[in-house]
Amino acid sequence: MSAAATPGRVLLPGATLGVLGGGQLGRMFVHAAQRMGYFTAVLDPDEHSPAGRVSHHHLRADYLDDVALARLGDLAEAITTEFENVPADALARLGERHPVAPGAAAVAIAQDRAEEKAHFTRCGVPCAPNAVIDNEEDLAGVDDALLPGILKTARLGYDGKGQVRVATRDELRAAWEALKRAPCVLEKLLPLAFECSVVVARGRDGAMVHLPVQRNLHRAGILAVTEVHEGCVAPAQAKRVIDATRAIAKGLDYVGVLCVEFFGLEDGSLVVNEMAPRPHNSGHWSIEGADVSQFELQVRTLAGLPLTPPRQHSPAIMLNLLGDLWWRDGQERTPDWAGVLALPGAHLHLYGKADARPGRKMGHLTLTGPDVAAVRTTALEAARRLGIGAF
């Protein structure tokens, strides 16, 4: 074990922190690390990656490239990841030399829905009724009580991809065939009242802090709006969400930032949906709405710095900016940024992506203000000016 990997060692500003993945989450991690005085190194094969463009070092190579991993280990004294589908083996290999947060074992569980649900169950956190489908025998044995349901690929699904709603056994078979008979999980459709998530950060010493519970609205399987303010989730339900997420993180012996999503049901109960072993789209509001953002928490957990409980200082609403906004009636256009930025408390983040495609996350807009009513009014006006549906 190298000196840099010595348990308990704190990496102070001036050290270099590495990140696997060069998307927008990596970009915002890099910004937070640089603001705190750290150097950064990004490993991502895309020469135009949003994080690579702003990092001190950008290694353009595959995540399992031996030379690139060795070089990242030479440059960085600790390494994190910005997306859960990075090969867990890459994290394991880097972890032989340096602190890696989150660790390979936790990321491997998050990459497999079946393993993920098994972990939730071990932690005593309820999931939607479900069944794992790996083969014809599993398909034939599915309980009719799970229909209607959602068939999800066990691996590599995100933002609504790899998911099919099914109402009958015939539809279930057709969906499994359409997903190329990949290992899947069938989840029973439940009567949802709302969706929410919470971001926690856990240090090497087991210390844990969290952001407030966030209420989320999804459209076509992609997060559209996040609201974080008093009353967006009932206090008793928020406490249950936080307690469950802490149990999930502790059960993984997790180090780093973890986001867990939940469904609130019409009967008042809660079930866990999934976890993301990284900062999350629904936590972006914290950059302007709290005194410690989810990305600073990621820096702190990676560097071994103290974790102070984040304090929300402003009600906040975040609007996801998808590539659809750059198109109208088949014609490319520029969204009305001037009109949006004329609104009080508007904070625009664009991720530096060149091609605006439908469904692609191009940026986000966070609205903050003195009270919930003011923020909601401004957010609805921003949505109108951008062409985003009301909420």
Q: Is 210 exposed, middle or buried (0-12, 13-18, 19+ CB in 10 A)?
A: buried
Residue 41 scores a pLDDT above 50: yes
Residue 5 scores a pLDDT above 50: no
152 is in an annotated binding site: yes
Would you state the pLDDT for residue 375?
Answer: 98
59 is in an annotated binding site: no
Would you state the pLDDT for residue 4?
Answer: 39
Q: Which two tokens stand for residue 362?
A: 């191009």
- Chain mean pLDDT for the chain: 95
294 is in an annotated binding site: no
Average pLDDT estimate for 222-246:
97
163 is in an annotated binding site: yes
189 is in an annotated binding site: yes
117 is in an annotated binding site: no
Percent of the chain with pLDDT over 70: 97
The pLDDT tens digits of the residues spanning 157-176 come to 666 678 999 999 999 999 99
Residue 205 scores a pLDDT above 80: yes
Residue 3 scores a pLDDT above 50: no
pTM beyond 0.85, yes or no:
yes
Return the amino acid letter for 240: R
The better pLDDT of the pair 294, 3 is held by 294
376 is in an annotated binding site: no
Decide: 15 and 304 in contact? Cβ < 8 Å: no
Would you state the pLDDT for residue 7?
Answer: 53
Q: Print the SS3 string covering 337-361.
A: HHHHHCCCCEEEEECCCCCCCCCCE
CA dist list (Å): 343 to 33, 260, 318 = 29, 32, 14
93 is in an annotated binding site: no
188 is in an annotated binding site: yes
159 is in an annotated binding site: yes
Would you state the pLDDT for residue 8?
Answer: 64
158 is in an annotated binding site: yes
* Rounded Cα–Cα distance for residues 274 and 280 (Å): 12
* Neighbour-count burial for 218-248, b at 16+ CB within 10 Å, e otherwise: eeeebbbbbbbbeebbeeebbebbbebbbbb
Task: Give the CA dihedral 46, 47, 53, 57, nearest 10 degrees.
Answer: 100
371 is in an annotated binding site: no
274 is in an annotated binding site: yes
The pLDDT tens digits of the residues spanning 267-293 come to 999 999 999 999 999 999 999 999 999
* Rounded Cα–Cα distance for residues 354 and 105 (Å): 34
The pLDDT tens digits of the residues spanning 84-130 come to 889 999 999 999 999 999 999 999 999 999 999 999 999 999 999 99
Would you state the pLDDT for residue 330?
Answer: 86
Structural domains of the chain ordered from first start: 3-100 (3.40.50.20), 129-188 (3.30.1490.20), 192-386 (3.30.470.20)
